[in-house]
Amino acid sequence: MIGVLGGMGPLATTDFMRKVIEATPATKDQDHIPMVAWSVPQIPDRSAAIFGTGESPLPMMQEGVRRLEQMGAGCIAIACNTAHYWYEGLRRGCGARLLHIGETAAERLVALGVPKGRVGLIGTEATVRTRVYQDRLEAHGYECLALGPEESERLFWPAVRKVKTGDTQGATPLLEEAVERLLAAGAARVVLGCTEVPVGLAPARKEILERCFDATDALALACVAWATAEPARAA
Amino acid sequence: MIGVLGGMGPLATTDFMRKVIEATPATKDQDHIPMVAWSVPQIPDRSAAIFGTGESPLPMMQEGVRRLEQMGAGCIAIACNTAHYWYEGLRRGCGARLLHIGETAAERLVALGVPKGRVGLIGTEATVRTRVYQDRLEAHGYECLALGPEESERLFWPAVRKVKTGDTQGATPLLEEAVERLLAAGAARVVLGCTEVPVGLAPARKEILERCFDATDALALACVAWATAEPARAA
């Protein structure tokens, strides 16, 4: 059984579950992988905790991991990029396989044959500063290029706000420019490490989309790969 | 905490969770209702059990209800119309509030001011034959009109198959005709009691949609109403 630690936010949880379902080879309901989700939006804000203005979300996330294990989850995914800052704290005492979105992204880049070297990264300041992706990507031979503060302020944040208020079309040109800038700086691919970004890029030009890589998709694929490799624990 | 008994099928579970999230008045993540989902697609096929060709799904669904209660669910929704055939068996020994999709549909029709009398019902043969909706609607003064066997064969089933294979546009005229036939027979509203039907009707004409009533939406609203009425158990 796959466990989903969620609620950060709640829609990111259902979107992630949907990605696992869509990534599963299935011709009937019974072919799908059992899943349990613990979606508790009351988990304290991750960015506020990282920047020292809010309480730590770790105790509540640990409670979630415990609950998912009690339910029988043999593999747990965290449906939030920034929450991975607390990965080591969550892994301690966790008997299930706990996936790391930076690690599954790195493994997927390798599997796709993306050459070692520069890759771009689009994510929140909290995700970028805490090196959720960088440490794992570097361990696999990739060098991470993130947006500069000016680009973040002018392109990333307005795009995220537009997506959150439903203006996907308005976000698209901003995110296209962000991707283009990272490609121009030598990135072979651009890792989308923030839930809102793939939504805002969905209407983007094909040549842009081909160079992007949705880290949440890679996390969903890793869940399916786990279930395939460990059918007894997945059941 | 709201519990979702799901996996029947898996996408119906994530769609239902999304409906609860969208029905919740919220300006930030923390305003949303904690939710736990047990989504196990290995639950035996409900229609096969009803028609005597497959094993009962009840023991596995009972296990799911127990697990959701263990996780702290104070109110449980079943994200499958046909599974409500086993409602009484699930309710026995269940300490949480267990919602019934027929009951929440009836209560919502009353709240919307739909006059007592005829309402239409579109659902699978298993849902219609086992009176998931009829008994509850009749208790509230509504008389249920279902499609006849010829209409089911010619309109409903081909539409469901089209939705399941992604041909939503192809399903729409079939379902529009099904709704029109029930309206012509005197239905004030048509209850959509099958997951695929609202999907197939999404592109329908406005005058058709205005006369339809998505039972899953009403079930999601009942979850939100429970959380509002019982904030201590919802937390």
Is the CB of A85 inside 8 Å of chain B's CB atoms? Answer: no
Cα A97 from Cα A95, distance rounded (Å): 7
Cβ(B56)–Cβ(B49) below 8 Å: yes
Contacts of B11 in chain A (CB under 8 A): 18, 21
Cis peptide before B6 (omega within 30 of 0): no
pLDDT tens figures, A179-227: 999 999 999 999 999 988 998 999 999 999 999 999 999 999 999 999 9
Task: Provide the pLDDT for residue B164.
Answer: 79
A to B CB pairs, distance under 8 Å: 98
SS3 B158: helix
DSSP letter, residue B35: E
Helix (H, G, I), strand (E, B) or coil at B120: strand
pLDDT at residue A42 tops 90: yes
For residue B118, what pLDDT is reported?
97
Binding-face residues of B in 43-82 toward A, CB within 8 A: 45, 67, 70-72
How far the first Cα of chain B sits from its last, in Å, is: 6
For residues B90 and B85, give the distance between their C-alpha atoms in angstroms, rounded to a whole number: 10
SS3 A194: coil
Position A29 scores a pLDDT of 84
What pLDDT, on a 0 to 100 scale, did the predictor assign at position B209?
Answer: 96
Domains of chain A as residue ranges with CATH: 2-100+217-234 (3.40.50.1860), 102-215 (3.40.50.1860)
Instruction: Answer yes or no: are the C-beta atoms of A100 and A90 closer than 8 Å.
Output: no
Residue B145: strand, helix, or coil: strand
Q: Which residues of chain B carry a pLDDT beneath 50?
A: none
Residue B93: the pLDDT is 85
Picking from B9, B38, B45, the nearest residue to A71 by CB comes out as B38
Q: Measure CA B69 to chain center.
A: 21
**B194 belongs to the catalytic site:** yes
Percent of chain A with pLDDT over 70: 100
What pLDDT is recorded for position B234? 85
d(CA B211, CA B187): 9
**Is B53 in a helix, a strand, or coil?**
coil
pLDDT above 90 covers what percent of chain A? 86
Contact residues for B225 (Cβ-Cβ < 8 A; gap 6+): none
What's the pLDDT tens digit per position in A94-134? Answer: 999 999 999 999 999 999 999 999 999 999 989 999 999 99
Taking an 8 Å cut-off on Cβ atoms, the answer to whether A14 and B7 are in contact is no
Q: Is A67 in Cβ contact with B36 (below 8 Å)?
A: yes
pLDDT score for B192: 96
- Terminus-to-terminus CA distance in chain A, angstroms? 6
- Calculate how close chain A gets to B180, using CA atoms only, in Å: 31
In chain B, residues with a C-beta closer than 8 Å to the C-beta of A38 are: 36, 71
Q: What does pLDDT average to over chain A?
A: 94
Q: What is the mean pLDDT of residues A22-46?
A: 93
Are A75 and A3 within 8 A, CB to CB?
Answer: yes
Whether residue A192 contacts residue A124, with contact meaning beta carbons closer than 8 Å, is answered with: no
Of chain B, the percentage scoring pLDDT greater than 70 comes to 100
Distance from CA of B202 to the nearest CA of A (A): 19
Check pLDDT > 90 for residue A234. no
The verdict on a CB contact (< 8 Å) between B41 and A32 is yes
Q: Which helix (H) or strand (E) holds A143?
A: strand A142-146
Q: Which residues of B184-218 are buried (b: 16+ CB within 10 A; e: fewer)?
A: eeebbbbbbbbbbbbbbbeebeeebeeebbbbbbb
Strand partners, A117: A142
Model confidence at A233, pLDDT cuts 50, 70, 90, reads: confident
**Nearest-CA distance B195 → chain A (Å):** 14
Residue from B75, B94, B144, B194 carrying the catalytic annotation: B194
Determine the residue type at A43.
Answer: I
Residue A14 contacts residue B12 (beta carbons within 8 Å): no
